[in-house]
């Protein structure tokens, strides 16, 4: 795992952000009326999309903060939750989610698709669901491996400087 892996993750995040941006624009164009709630939803969605695009570009360019930005971006995508009338779920790029619906009986749920942002409120207050994005887990695994490699290289080179 080297710079190629980081660039591949960067292209994945960039593509997910671009797809999310296109989907967001198409949803905004489709709505003729807007209110403060939909504008707040748009602002939050816009933030998440640009975070993904920025993290992707940082990875592609080899920016020193690329790992940190990408880890934060993937952590935001890790969990989805529906609880007490509120729902949050975010994914940039392809996602495959596995979760549990705890509303009445425990049911295993699966969801998959491309860039998705769900910020909802006043939905069914009895609904309780939690899910995990397996793609985000895989990307986080690769990012953590790269982070360990980077730390080891820094330790080795830092130690080499002290020896000189």
- pLDDT tens figures, 58-111: 999 988 889 899 999 999 999 999 888 888 888 988 899 999 988 877 789 899
Write the pLDDT tens digit of every residue in 114-126.
888 887 777 777 8
Beta bridge partners of 101: 107, 129
Give the pLDDT of residue 164.
Answer: 32
Q: How far apart are CA 30 and CA 64, in angstroms?
A: 39
Ramachandran angles phi, psi of 125, nearest 5°: -70, -15
Asked whether the beta carbons of 5 and 139 are under 8 A apart, the reply is no
Q: Per-residue pLDDT tens for 9-27?
A: 999 999 999 998 888 787 7
């Amino acid at each position: 795992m080297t710079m190629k892996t980081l660039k591949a993750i960067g292209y994945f995040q960039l593509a997910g952000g671009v797809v999310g941006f296109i989907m967001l624009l198409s949803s905004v164009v489709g709505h003729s009326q807007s209110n403060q709630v939909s504008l707040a939803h748009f602002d939050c969605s816009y933030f998440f999309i640009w975070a993904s695009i920025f993290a992707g570009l940082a990875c592609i360019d080899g920016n020193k903060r690329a790992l940190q930005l990408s880890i934060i971006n993937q952590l935001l995508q890790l969990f989805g939750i529906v609880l007490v009338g509120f729902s949050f779920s975010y994914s940039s790029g392809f996602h495959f989610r596995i979760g549990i619906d705890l509303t009445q009986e425990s049911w295993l749920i699966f969801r998959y698709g491309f860039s998705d942002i769900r910020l909802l409120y006043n939905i069914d207050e009895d609904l309780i669901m939690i899910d995990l994005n397996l793609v985000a887990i895989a990307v986080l695994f690769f990012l953590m491996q790269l982070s360990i490699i980077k730390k080891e290289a820094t330790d080795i080179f830092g130690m080499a400087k002290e020896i000189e």
